[in-house]
Chains A and B, each alone.
Chain A
């Protein structure tokens, strides 16, 4: 196996962080839907908090994505 193959595998593993973020945002969204169903008048506040939670949960996926990009575009042997 050469360096390019290993870098490609590493980038793939780095992007796998997206799985956790997907589960996290899914849980946040489902709970937000429940909360709005119970208390429709609080939908503004719920939306705000959901967006914040989704943005924070998404950070891990973004870090994985940035690491993968760095691996491919910076470390790739010319």
Chain B
């Protein structure tokens, strides 16, 4: 297998197994499985961290309160008056994207294929090979996030401004810009989706090339930038832009 084939094999999400619902078989790709891993991690962490909360915080409760307050303050400065309705959604998206973008640093756990090569146990032969690669490198995941964001913008605009006010807002300050405001609802999710996808895929491709060329020492330093910094920054920018769009829709 030459380098480009190997790269394509790593980049493309591949189907692991099928789920049959009402006679239709739905292929489940590894991005979906890794998304489940991220979801399980977040849910378990949330349950463990919020157990036995006290009025006077101590230990882990300090940390979780710091996160919640940081998210609340961030949403308050960007959305303003109606921030309470959106803080939970934006916080969830932020934590999910951070976990999803930086999950490849936990790739040190050997996959089923490597375990089989090392031990030759039949136990590992039949397990599908899952490596922890960021699910956001799949354009389906990021387009999903972007469509969810733009639906939230639409619904919050209609509910808070009331339908008449919402339609009026297209013609302000001048009726000339109405077509551009309609176009915004198509361009914004596309740019949100492609920005996240392109950044994560680009960083991922660079890291895979480095792993193929120099597998020791050098990737550790580069991983801090490409996995941790870039992943966290893109999660922040995604949530920041979503909150700006919401703030504009409900102002």
Q: Is B8's CB under 8 angstroms from A66's CB?
A: no
B6 to chain A, nearest CB (A): 13
Q: Is A59's CB under 8 angstroms from B240's CB?
A: no
* A69 CA to B233 CA, complexed, in Å: 22
Q: Is B241's CB under 8 angstroms from A55's CB?
A: yes
B146 to chain A, nearest CB (A): 13
Interface residues of A, count at CB 8 A: 12
Please give, as numbers and ranges, the residues of chain B lying within 8 Å of A51 by CB-CB distance: 233, 236-237, 240
Query: Which of B11, B195, B201 is within 8 Å of A55, CB to CB?
Result: B195
**Interface SS of chain B: helix, strand, loop or mixed?**
helix
A2 in contact (CB, < 8 A):
no
B154 to chain A, nearest CB (A): 21
Which B positions have Cβ atoms within 8 angstroms of A? 8, 11, 191, 194-195, 197-199, 201-202, 233, 236-237, 240-241, 244
A52 in contact (CB, < 8 A):
yes
Q: Is B198's CB under 8 angstroms from A63's CB?
A: yes
* A62 CA to B199 CA, complexed, in Å: 7
A49 to chain B, nearest CB (A): 10
Please give, as numbers and ranges, the residues of chain B lying within 8 Å of A65 by CB-CB distance: 198, 202
Q: Is A55's CB under 8 angstroms from B202's CB?
A: no
A25 to chain B, nearest CB (A): 12
A to B contact number (C-beta, < 8 Å): 33
Contact status of A52 and B8, CB under 8 A, knowing A58-B195, A66-B198: no
A30 in contact (CB, < 8 A):
no
Contact status of A62 and B240, CB under 8 A, knowing A69-B201, A73-B8, A73-B11: no
Interface mask (A49-78 → B, CB under 8 Å = 1, otherwise 0): 001100100110011011001000100000
Q: Is A62's CB under 8 angstroms from B11's CB?
A: no
* A8 CA to B11 CA, complexed, in Å: 19
For A52, the closest partner residue in chain B by CB is B240
Q: Is A52's CB under 8 angstroms from B202's CB?
A: no
Q: Is A62's CB under 8 angstroms from B198's CB?
A: yes
* A63 CA to B233 CA, complexed, in Å: 18
* A62 CA to B237 CA, complexed, in Å: 14
* A62 CA to B142 CA, complexed, in Å: 14
- Per the 8 Å Cβ criterion, residues 27-65 of A in contact with B are 48, 51-52, 55, 58-59, 62-63, 65
Query: Which of A48, A62, A69, A73 is within 8 Å of B195, CB to CB?
Result: A62
Please give, as numbers and ranges, the residues of chain A lying within 8 Å of B244 by CB-CB distance: 52
* A66 CA to B196 CA, complexed, in Å: 11
Please give, as numbers and ranges, the residues of chain A lying within 8 Å of B8 by CB-CB distance: 73
B39 to chain A, nearest CB (A): 26
Query: Which of B11, B197, B237 is within 8 Å of A66, CB to CB?
Result: B197
Please give, as numbers and ranges, the residues of chain B lying within 8 Å of A58 by CB-CB distance: 195, 199
Please give, as numbers and ranges, the residues of chain B lying within 8 Å of A73 by CB-CB distance: 8, 11
Q: Is B194's CB under 8 angstroms from A66's CB?
A: yes
* A51 CA to B197 CA, complexed, in Å: 18
Contact status of A59 and B201, CB under 8 A, knowing A51-B236, A73-B8: no
- Extra contacts, 6 of them, besides A58-B195, A59-B195, A65-B198 (Cβ < 8 A), are A48-B240, A52-B237, A52-B241, A55-B240, A62-B199, A66-B198
